[in-house]
Amino acid sequence: MAMFAVDSNRQQMMATGVVEPVNEWIEVDGKRRPGDVQARDENTGALLWGVEVVYQSVNWGRVSTESVKVTVPAREMPAPSLFSPIKFEDLVASVRVDRRNNGLTTSWEASGISEMAGAKTAPKAAA
């Protein structure tokens, strides 16, 4: 798996306002799938959240808008405002080959959110 550090100050991202818990993966009948228990950061024990963002990308000379979920640890559910700028700490994009279709799959992770414009107060997460 190739990992790339992404400078959140240079790669402008906008939060969509969508945040979901990231669940632990379990194995059932030899297949992996998300379970019912929310995953935790192995270093801090904080809950993991998928924060949806959009950003502009250029592929083969074509400009497009990409939508991805960035996994971040947080004690409480992040609550970015709809289509507001967001910056992450230690943002990393990991790329791997998807064996199902031999295409590339990218996953995004960060150690935290460094800046959330217009954030709302979030409800407390269930432990």
Cα 33 from Cα 35, distance rounded (Å) = 6
Q: Do the strands 31-38 and 23-28 form a parallel or antiparallel pair, or are they unpaired?
A: antiparallel
State the Cα angle at 72 between 120 and 19, rounded to 5°.
45
CATH of domain 2-116: 2.40.50
Domain positions in the chain are 2-116
Within 13 A of 106's CA, how many CA atoms are on the CB side?
13
Q: What percent of the chain is predicted at pLDDT more than 90?
A: 65
Residues with Cβ within 8 Å of 127's Cβ and at least 6 positions away in sequence, in order, are: 47
| pTM of the predicted structure, to 2 decimals | 0.84
* Range 18-25 average pLDDT: 95
Token pair for 38: 């929310």
Token pair for 87: 């910056």
pLDDT band at 1 (very low <50, low <70, confident <90, very high): confident
Token pair for 53: 């963002």
Query: Which residue type occupies 23?
Result: N
